[in-house]
Chains A and B, each alone.
Chain A
Amino acid sequence: MKKLVAVMLSLSLVLVGCVAVAETATPQVELTVFAAASMTESLNKIAEMYKTVAPNVTLVFNFDSSGTLQTQIEEGAEADVFISAGKKQMDALDVTASADANPKAQDLILPDTRFDLLTNTVVLIVPEGSTKDITSFEDVATDKVSLIALGNSDVPVGQYAQDVFTSLGLWDQLNTDKKITFGSNVKEVLSQVEAGAVDCGVVYISDAATGTGIKVVASAPAGSHKPVNYPAAVLKSAKNEQAAKDFLEYLKGADCSKVFTDIGFEIPER
């Protein structure tokens, strides 16, 4: 027993030593970016590019559904930048938003740093080689589809999908038929379609572009859902406000716009 304690103690000393050495290295700015799961590929690519632009900045990403990120920020997660795939999740943290959109009057972002970074298109996808002949959102209510993957009501793409099916008058029927499996973010929906576990799913066109073994069969009918905006802002809790602002500025540039448009995002007028 004594021996074991001695071993554990010396091991922890060694570990503490390692940490101490690491901390004395060149001072680096670490920027924590909370971003919608649909931005995973594009932001990872941009992070590589940003290394040459600002070598002293290390970008740390947390990708998840915007609703999850919103909750994490509300619960005090340390982050510098928030990029949401929905207006709703950003509004809930923005003190300048209407009382309806921000009922708790939370003041967690710097409103003057907020802008709409991207827009996106909502599409219906099926596994490649699917023989079910699904070609439209209306088909989902027919016998061709026994299971569809959607984001839950907390995930922006889930809300947009609900908008689409509601405007087609199919939402209640899909629920009564128990045809929907609810994923907790857009990448989960994509994985389920890729794995062929479901007949189809609703994602953004930018996710469809990064998926493998899937096929886009339809875009959401015009006007069937709220516009898909990606608002970005610096958070009040940012430890490096200037570095965060610089990064958002960089995202507006032509280099980044190309990365975004390459996989299907669109750049809004601003």
Chain B
Amino acid sequence: MDWFPLLNSLRVASIATVITFLLGIWAANGITRLPRALKGVLDCILTLPLVLPPTVVGFFLLKTISPKAALGGFLLDSFGWKLTMTWYSAIFATTIVAFPLMYRTARGAFEQLSPEWEACAATMGLSRRFIFWKIKMPNCRAGLLAGTVLSFARALGEYGATSMVTGYIPGRTATIATTVYQLWREGNDTLAYRWVMIDLAISMIVLIAVNLLEKRGGRQYAGSAN
């Protein structure tokens, strides 16, 4: 059995998770300081990929980074970067789709932290950086971890946008999700079942991890941001 789809999926999902982790926390932390109207609009935009069909994300991505699109063409002509039909194309797709999960979970965690703590720390002359790293981050650890695991799970399971920007090149861009689809299309149920089992196993592990983290945190994080 060719294990490439598993390795590629894990590679794509891991990188996408690191990016969403950083971006998600940065956005969740930054948005609280914005004026209310701007906050509402931004929050909408940042959460959009959660409710949009991934095919819409894929469509926008293709219209942006494919070789005949403005940005994609520019990057190809000036740097020789081809951003579609490569294994790392999937990183763009999965990052966008997984981002809202990290962002919303992180925001929920930050908002559950009593605002007095921050204010109190500020009156003691502590810098914002200190407050963020030594007060906010440690106290929200369980929530942030849960968000990270959820993002990883979403990135691992992404199919629609990924298949649109990477195609299906066996041994180059195939992921577990696109492989299962192609195997089904080709009528190769035996192999499809095997990949389905592998995917089920990974997903179960991820979900158990989320549950453990949430229990340890003792609070509800996901979806609590408003």
Residues from chain A with Cβ under 8 Å of B67 in the complex: 195-197
Q: Tell me whether A197 and B185 are in contact (CB under 8 A).
A: no
Our count of residue pairs bridging A and B at CB distance below 8 angstroms stands at 58
Beta-carbon nearest neighbor of A184 in chain B: B185
* Cβ of A181 under 8 Å from chain B: yes
**Min CB distance, B113 to chain A, in Å?**
29
B168 touches A182 (CB 8 A): yes
Chain B residues lying within 8 Å of A197, measured Cβ to Cβ, are: 62, 66-67, 84-85, 167
User: Would you list which residues of chain B between 154 and 208 have a CB under 8 Å from chain A?
Assistant: 167-173, 181-182, 185-187
Closest chain-B Cβ to A162's Cβ sits at a distance in Å of 12
- Residues on B with C-beta less than 8 A from A178 are 169-172
Which residue of the partner chain, among A127, A152, A194, A213, contacts B168 with CB atoms under 8 Å? A152
Residue of B nearest to A68 (CB): B185
Q: A152 with B170: in contact, given A147-B85, A195-B62, A195-B84 (CB under 8 Å)?
A: no
A119 interfacial by beta-carbon distance below 8 Å: no
Is B68 part of the binding interface, using a Cβ–Cβ cutoff of 8 Å?
Answer: yes
Q: Which residues of B contact A149 (CB under 8 A)?
A: 167
| A7-42 interface (Cβ within 8 A of B) | none
Question: Could you tell me how many residues of chain A have their Cβ less than 8 Å away from some Cβ of chain B?
Answer: 23
In contact, B187 and A182 (Cβ under 8 angstroms): no
Task: Report how far A184 CA is from B185 CA in the complex, Å.
Answer: 8
Interface string of A174-205 (1 = CB under 8 A from B): 01001011111000000010111110000000
- With A127-B68, A196-B66 already in contact, the answer to whether A181 and B185 are too (CB < 8 A) is no
Interface pair B168/A195, CB less than 8 Å apart: no
Whether A116 sits at the interface, judged by CB under 8 Å, is no
Q: Please, which residues of chain A bring their CB within 8 A of the CB of B170? A: 175, 178, 180, 182
Chain B residues in 8 Å Cβ range of A196: 66-68
Contact between B66 and A183, CB atoms less than 8 A apart? no
- A183 and B68 in contact, given A67-B185, A152-B182 (Cβ under 8 angstroms): no
Interface string of B67-89 (1 = CB under 8 A from A): 11100000000000000110000
The reply on A257 being an interface residue by CB < 8 A is no
Closest residue of A by beta carbon distance from B66? A195
Is A181 a contact partner of B68 (Cβ separation < 8 A)?
A: no
Q: Is B66 within 8 A of A154, CB to CB?
A: no
Q: Check if B167 sits within 8 Å of A192, measured CB to CB.
A: yes
Residue of A nearest to B172 (CB): A178
* A177 nearest CB across to chain B (Å): 10
Contact A195 B185 (CB under 8 A): no
B85: contacting residue among A65, A68, A198, A213, CB under 8 A: A198
**Shortest beta-carbon distance, A161 to chain B, in Å?**
14
Q: Are B171 and A154 in touch, CB under 8 angstroms? A: no
Chain B's closest residue to A191 (CB) is B62
B167/A154 in contact, CB under 8 A: no
For residue A240, CB closer than 8 A to chain B, the reply is: no
Which chain A positions have C-beta within 8 A of B68?
Answer: 127, 194-196, 213
Distance of A127 Cα from B67 Cα, bound (Å):
11
The A146-176 residues at the B interface (CB cut-off 8 A) are 147, 149, 152-154, 175
A-B contact pairs, 30 of them (CB 8 A): A68-B185, A127-B68, A149-B167, A152-B168, A152-B186, A153-B186, A154-B185, A154-B187, A178-B170, A180-B169, A180-B170, A182-B167, A182-B168, A182-B169, A183-B167, A184-B181, A184-B182, A184-B185, A192-B85, A192-B167, A195-B62, A195-B67, A195-B69, A195-B84, A196-B68, A197-B66, A197-B85, A197-B167, A198-B85, A213-B68
What 10 pairs across the A-B complex have the smallest Cβ distances? A181-B167, A196-B67, A195-B66, A196-B68, A181-B169, A178-B171, A154-B185, A182-B168, A197-B84, A178-B172
The chain B residues found within 8 Å of chain A, CB to CB, are 62, 66-69, 84-85, 167-173, 181-182, 185-187
